[in-house]
Structure 1
């Protein structure tokens, strides 16, 4: 164990056993003044809940007792913001993709060359924001306008337009 300006540092030897090879991996835990740094290839906990709570960022008034950021739930899934413990919700930035659970092989239906796709269930309405194309007039450039659109309203409008076309 050594003492440094950044805090107390110590190494923990973790042994991983396999049928063919025995390896040791060192880890480093640094206790700083305002943070704890865990340096390791893998950080494992056998707990069910990861609670992340910053009292200074809580809203005024009555707020939930717990702040369960990540929960290994009873369905063997990972739940973010368990029981809606964070009244401000969650924000995902830079999302590259969201994929539904695959359909178990026994439940897959194949019709011709088409395979049944898994469903992604979204509860509640969906809105998306987009920038409308620029209107370019001779010599005058207009900044694109951001617009928030309800997917439900857009689909209802399209269905109405299709019904009117079918009546013709």
Structure 2
């Protein structure tokens, strides 16, 4: 049994979201997330019904500041393409995890965002980005403003 000394909201924060909706072909992203506040980032991409021949790709990108300067991919931080052809990947999820130390720290990369690209046809899609292992205070201090409520039993 887990001790109820530290609620999950003290260890994990909702820092990025792509609202669940029908997403047309194109790329959608979260905002840039400062990794100086956390040790680990985890993005969950949730594909709903994929349109005919639709594909979904997702990756984590890094930048040197909150405006996305010098943006580039994080090596190895991309999912295997979800698709509607062959095997139907409708109603599946994919998770990408990355530690802050895996950024290009030598070149001052400090921020991360999730980028999801839908191709060929629209599909139902949503994503949630959570950061864990806060460096200071409870993680929930860094939740997005859209987090309406935290309930702990």
TM-score (norm 1): 0.19
TM-score (norm 2): 0.20
Larger helix share, 1 or 2: 1
Larger strand share, 1 or 2: 2
Structure with bigger RCO (C-alpha 8 Å, 6+ apart): 2
